[in-house]
């Protein structure tokens, strides 16, 4: 018995040691990142002088007085991630419900097609997407006339969000379909017998049952929108323009021909990371549910 | 009660009258948004765009005085995007109807954009602003394409040969010899191969590491063309406007770079990263290098600030023209002016050109010239009080007498890429000079067909 206990403990220690060893580079990298942002220079993990100047971008633009403030850029990024998350969750859950619960012609083909779409790297679709955005730009109001997000055309936050949504939807639909598949059909049938419409069933019965799925997809979509680079970079004007986002703005610190101030790059990078870390901290349980499915006891 | 009702009525009437008056006034004024897009390295080159914000007030005051109901509202978008992305952004933006009204770019892109109809010719508009007469004629030539003017020169520069005085002293050069070097280059007494010989001596004596005798920029760009010109090369046929490649000059040009890398311990610079390797290299461990006058400000502001900035540089660096290829020959340099172009989507080109006229003046241009160490573009600017205060601008100005330019041709990008690929292969030792010339001739014929003249 004692031997067994020892063996268990020894096994646990080994597991923890292994986990610690493999996690150490990540911990060290984060530690280095934090130390760097408060240092003039570093040698390994040692700071050669503490300073707050790397964080000065929070209260004044490092590139000149007429550059967009970091707060404006952060608002843009937040709008992009939020608009994208809202549309992805809404459209994914509706289409996943239909794909999970209804039989219609082309259902399997549609599912396969979304999977194929997911396999396309975004960079290969830049040119066709540009032509779509260009077309949307010319539609009155929708193209360029929305407050805050600018619209859904070229050089607007809404336009970039729309493109990001298109890339995120296959993933979202498949994930949400998995959650709907796990919900008992009996629950839905009872509601239908009681006179509920399909829409009511989806909204009032099924959606509350897949909250973990909604949370998980929201997190993935938000992080994807928050960190997006190639799409906003290609479809907005200027790394300091009206529609710029944090990942693109960060490039202002790294130029081909001017010395890169890596400590400030690290500080902006860490600043960009903070909302994601907070988001992740409060929702990590829901995030793990993505691998576990929705309500228990489903058919 | 009655009194308070009357008071309320009076207040409401006043508010209504004020609102209508404000609306009437607002309707009288036509606010025209003008979007200005510039590429600028902050903080040195920020005046490229910021000058327009000063010009906005100035132009609006003019419009008001004239009784013109229009007022401009300038929006400046300015960053340090890489050139390729910067051009792509303009093309994509134009396609979506979102191009800036005023777009700053290198003059060599004029041909391509003019052919595509994305920019307008400025003849007929610029004549109304006499200030443009002050711009050097040679700079106007850079913005001409098919006989028309397509842009207003924004700045100019020289591309000097720099040297490290400290390393020359280690090699045994006296202060007098170092001080006399710019003059010897100007007279054609110190040639390109003299420079390579000196570089080799520095390598042999361990003053610099092998590869660090002489450097050019690390990637393709305009800096290589003056060397081709030095060996007698030409790039454009003035009669037909077609690009030209001269095989005899090309052989000497590639021979020079082949020799530099394979025999004279130089050219260990190609492929280096600008900020982490090239700039730190030339500011510490390279004997001779070709750069731009604008880099003087970058080194002082970014790379050598801790060592004393410009004072340290005057102490340790010297500069002169790019030497002639042969004794008694003419040295040269290259100017690559940037120019303000007006988009064909701009609804009020007259206002755009008027704004550009405001920034094309001694004050605004000198602000930019001094902070970014670019040369002035206006006649008489050297006499301008504030311009004279910059030692570098004054000492480098004579180089404009020896300057050369890139051709304005829509196919320059292809030409430049092919000729650079051959140069890189010579430096790496993969091509002999003869093979490099064959490669260029074959490549240019294949890519450009009848748009290239091979001599």
Tell me which chain B residues have a C-beta less than 8 angstroms from the C-beta of A237: 37, 77, 89, 93, 98, 100
Assess contact for B78 and B48: CB atoms under 8 A: yes
Whether A83 is in a domain gets the answer yes
Tell me which chain B residues have a C-beta less than 8 angstroms from the C-beta of A259: 275, 279, 298, 302-303
Q: Nearest by CB to B79, which of A242, A252, A257? A: A252
Q: Given CA atoms B262, B268, B272, B278 in this order, what sign does their dihedral have?
A: negative
CA atoms within a 13 Å half-sphere pointing along the CA-CB vector of B350: 6
With 70 as the cut, is the pLDDT of residue B13 above it?
A: no
Q: Whole-angstrom Cα distance, residue A205 to residue A188?
A: 7
CA atoms within a 13 Å half-sphere pointing along the CA-CB vector of A240: 28
The answer to whether the Cβ–Cβ distance between A63 and B46 falls below 8 Å is yes
Whether A43 is in a domain gets the answer no
How far, CA to CA in Å, does B166 sit from each of B68, B215, B286, B323? 61, 17, 10, 20
Tell me which chain B residues have a C-beta less than 8 angstroms from the C-beta of A154: 92-93, 96, 98
Whether A58 is in a domain gets the answer no
Tell me which chain B residues have a C-beta less than 8 angstroms from the C-beta of A134: 95-97
The answer to whether the Cβ–Cβ distance between A239 and B81 falls below 8 Å is yes
Tell me which chain A residues have a C-beta less than 8 angstroms from the C-beta of B100: 237
Nearest residue on chain A to B42, judged by CA atoms?
A63
Torsion angle of alpha carbons B196, B199, B205, B208, nearest 10°?
Answer: -150
The pLDDT value given to residue B24: 47
Please give the share of chain B, as a percent, with pLDDT higher than 90: 68
- Burial (CB count <10 Å: 0-12, 13-18, 19+), residue B205: exposed
Mean pLDDT of chain B: 90
Give the pair of three-digit tokens for residue A64: 């000149």
Q: Whole-angstrom Cα distance, residue B38 to residue B52?
A: 11
Q: Whole-angstrom Cα distance, residue B392 to residue B413?
A: 31
Chain A / chain B CB contacts < 8 angstroms: 90
Q: Nearest by CB to A259, which of B46, B49, B303? A: B303
The pTM (predicted TM-score) of the whole model is 0.81
Checking ipTM against 0.85, whether it exceeds it is no
In tens, the pLDDT along B167-211 reads 999 999 999 999 999 999 999 999 999 999 999 999 999 999 999
Average pLDDT of span B309-327: 93
Looking at the complex, report in whole angstroms how far the Cα of residue B434 sits from the nearest Cα belonging to chain A.
33
Whether A93 is in a domain gets the answer yes
Nearest residue on chain B to A232, judged by CA atoms?
B89
Q: Which of A257, A260, A262 to mutate to test the interface with B (most CBs of B within 10 A)?
A: A257
Torsion angle of alpha carbons A170, A174, A176, A181, nearest 10°?
Answer: 150
Whether A126 is in a domain gets the answer yes
Cβ count within 10 A of residue B124 = 12
Regions of chain A short of the pLDDT cut 70: 1-8, 255-259, 286-287, 289-299
Whether A197 is in a domain gets the answer yes
Nearest residue on chain A to B274, judged by CA atoms?
A257
Assess contact for B373 and B60: CB atoms under 8 A: no
Structural domains of chain B ordered from first start: 7-157+336-404 (3.40.190.10), 161-335+408-454 (3.40.190.10)
Q: What is the CA radius of gyration of chain A?
A: 24
Q: How confident is the model at residue B331 (pLDDT cuts 50, 70, 90)?
A: very high
* CA proximity to A170, closest of A123, A252, A110: A110
Q: Which of B54, B98, B101 to mutate to test the interface with A (most CBs of A within 10 A)?
A: B98
Q: How many domains does chain A have?
A: 1
CATH number at residue A116: 1.10.3720.10
Give a three-class secondary structure readout of B415-437: HHHHHHHHHHHHHHCCCCHHHHH
* CA proximity to B321, closest of B313, B311, B307, B331: B331
Give the pair of three-digit tokens for residue B310: 């410009």
- Burial (CB count <10 Å: 0-12, 13-18, 19+), residue A43: exposed
With 50 as the cut, is the pLDDT of residue B258 above it?
A: yes
With 80 as the cut, is the pLDDT of residue B322 above it?
A: yes
The answer to whether the Cβ–Cβ distance between B77 and A237 falls below 8 Å is yes
Q: How confident is the model at residue B238 (pLDDT cuts 50, 70, 90)?
A: confident
Nearest residue on chain A to B35, judged by CA atoms?
A241
Q: By residue range, what is the domain housing residue A76?
A: 64-291
Looking at the complex, report in whole angstroms how far the Cα of residue B246 sits from the nearest Cα belonging to chain A.
31
Q: Nearest by CB to A238, which of B79, B279, B302? A: B79
Question: What does the angle CA B347 – CA B155 – CA B392 come to, to the nearest 5 degrees?
Answer: 160
Tell me which chain A residues have a C-beta less than 8 angstroms from the C-beta of B86: none
The pLDDT value given to residue A295: 46
Assess contact for B90 and B118: CB atoms under 8 A: yes
The answer to whether the Cβ–Cβ distance between B274 and A137 falls below 8 Å is no
Nearest residue on chain B to A260, judged by CA atoms?
B275
C-beta pairs of B385-392 under 8 Å, 24+ apart in sequence: B387/B362, B391/B314, B392/B293, B392/B296, B392/B310
Whether A254 is in a domain gets the answer yes
Assess contact for B58 and B34: CB atoms under 8 A: no
The answer to whether the Cβ–Cβ distance between B41 and A255 falls below 8 Å is yes
Task: Report H helices in B132-246.
Answer: 137-142, 165-170, 175-186, 192-204, 225-230
**Order of strands, sheet of B151-155, starting from the edge strand that comes earlier in the sequence:** B70-79, B30-39, B102-106, B338-342, B151-155
Q: How confident is the model at residue B422 (pLDDT cuts 50, 70, 90)?
A: very high
Assess contact for A137 and A153: CB atoms under 8 A: yes
How far, CA to CA in Å, does A5 sit from each of A8, A11, A19, A126? 5, 10, 21, 59
Assess contact for B400 and B158: CB atoms under 8 A: yes
- Burial (CB count <10 Å: 0-12, 13-18, 19+), residue A147: exposed
The pLDDT value given to residue B17: 58
Q: Nearest by CB to B97, which of A67, A137, A256? A: A137
Whether A26 is in a domain gets the answer no
């Amino acid at each position: 018995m004692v031997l067994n206990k020892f063996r268990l403990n020894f096994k646990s220690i080994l597991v923890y040691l292994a986990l610690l060893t493999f996690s150490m580079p990540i911990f060290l990298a984060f530690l280095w990142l934090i130390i760097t942002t408060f240092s003039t220079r570093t040698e390994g993990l040692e700071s050669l002088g503490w300073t707050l100047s790397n964080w000065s971008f929070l209260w004044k633009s490092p590139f000149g007085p007429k550059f967009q403030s970091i707060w404006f850029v952060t608002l843009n990024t937040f709008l992009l991630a939020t608009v994208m998350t809202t549309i992805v969750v809404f459209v994914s859950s509706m289409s996943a419900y239909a794909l999970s619960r209804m039989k219609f012609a082309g259902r399997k083909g549609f599912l396969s097609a979304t999977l194929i779409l997911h396999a396309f790297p975004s960079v290969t679709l830049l040119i066709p997407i540009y032509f779509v955005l260009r077309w949307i730009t010319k539609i009155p109001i929708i193209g360029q006339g929305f407050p805050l997000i600018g619209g859904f055309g070229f050089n607007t936050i809404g336009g970039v969000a729309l493109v990001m949504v298109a890339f995120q939807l296959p993933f979202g639909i498949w994930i949400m379909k998995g959650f709907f598949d796990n919900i008992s059909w009996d629950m839905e049938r009872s509601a239908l017998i009681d006179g509920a419409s399909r829409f009511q069933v989806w909204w009032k019965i099924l959606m509350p049952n897949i909250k973990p799925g909604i949370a998980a997809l929201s997190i993935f979509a938000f992080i994807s929108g928050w960190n997006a680079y190639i799409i906003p970079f290609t479809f907005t004007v200027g790394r300091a323009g009206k529609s710029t986002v944090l990942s693109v703005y960060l490039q202002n610190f790294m130029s081909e021909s001017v010395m890169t101030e890596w400590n400030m790059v690290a500080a902006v990078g860490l600043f960009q990371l903070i909302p994601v870390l907070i988001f992740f901290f409060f929702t990590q349980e829901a995030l793990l549910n993505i691998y576990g499915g929705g309500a228990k006891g489903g058919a | 009660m009655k009194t308070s009702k009357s008071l309320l009525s009076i207040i409401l009437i006043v508010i209504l009258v004020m609102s209508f008056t404000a609306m009437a006034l607002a309707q009288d004024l036509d606010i025209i948004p003008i979007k200005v897009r510039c590429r600028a390295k902050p903080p040195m080159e920020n005046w490229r765009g910021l000058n327009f914000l000063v010009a906005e007030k100035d132009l609006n005051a003019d419009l008001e005085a004239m009784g013109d109901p229009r007022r401009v509202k300038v929006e400046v978008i300015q960053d340090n995007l890489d050139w390729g992305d910067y051009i792509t952004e303009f093309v994509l933006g134009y396609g979506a109807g979102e191009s800036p009204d005023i777009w700053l770019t290198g003059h060599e892109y004029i041909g391509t954009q003019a052919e595509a109809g994305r920019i307008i010719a400025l003849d007929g508009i610029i004549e109304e602003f006499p200030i443009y007469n002050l711009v050097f004629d040679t700079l106007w030539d850079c913005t001409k394409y098919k006989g028309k003017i397509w842009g207003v020169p924004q700045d100019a520069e020289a591309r000097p040969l720099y040297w490290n005085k400290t390393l020359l002293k280690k090699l045994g050069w006296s202060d007098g010899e170092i001080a006399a070097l710019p003059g010897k280059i100007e007279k054609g007494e110190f040639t390109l191969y003299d420079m390579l010989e000196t570089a080799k001596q520095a390598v042999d004596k361990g003053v610099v590491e092998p590869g660090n005798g002489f450097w050019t920029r690390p990637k393709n760009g305009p800096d290589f063309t003056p060397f081709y010109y030095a060996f007698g090369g030409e790039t454009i046929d003035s009669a037909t406007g077609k690009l030209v490649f001269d095989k005899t000059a090309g052989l000497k040009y590639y021979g020079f770079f082949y020799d530099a890398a394979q025999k004279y311990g130089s050219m260990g610079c190609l492929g280096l990263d600008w900020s982490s390797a090239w700039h730190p290299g030339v500011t510490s461990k390279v004997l001779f290098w070709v750069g731009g006058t604008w880099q003087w400000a970058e080194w002082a502001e970014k790379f050598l600030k801790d060592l004393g900035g410009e004072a340290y540089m005057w102490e340790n660096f010297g500069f002169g023209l790019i030497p002639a290829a042969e004794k008694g020959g003419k040295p040269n340099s290259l100017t690559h002016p940037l120019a303000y172009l007006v988009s064909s989507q701009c609804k009020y080109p007259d206002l755009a050109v008027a704004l550009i006229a405001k920034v094309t003046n001694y004050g605004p241009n000198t602000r930019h010239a001094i902070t970014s160490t670019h040369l002035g573009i206006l006649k008489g600017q050297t006499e301008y009080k504030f311009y004279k205060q910059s030692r570098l601008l004054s000492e480098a100005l004579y180089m404009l007498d020896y300057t050369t330019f890139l051709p304005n041709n829509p196919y320059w990008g292809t030409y430049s890429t092919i000729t650079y690929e051959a140069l890189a292969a010579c430096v790496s030792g993969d091509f002999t000079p003869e093979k490099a010339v064959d490669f260029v001739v074959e490549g240019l014929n294949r890519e450009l067909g009848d748009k290239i003249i091979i001599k």
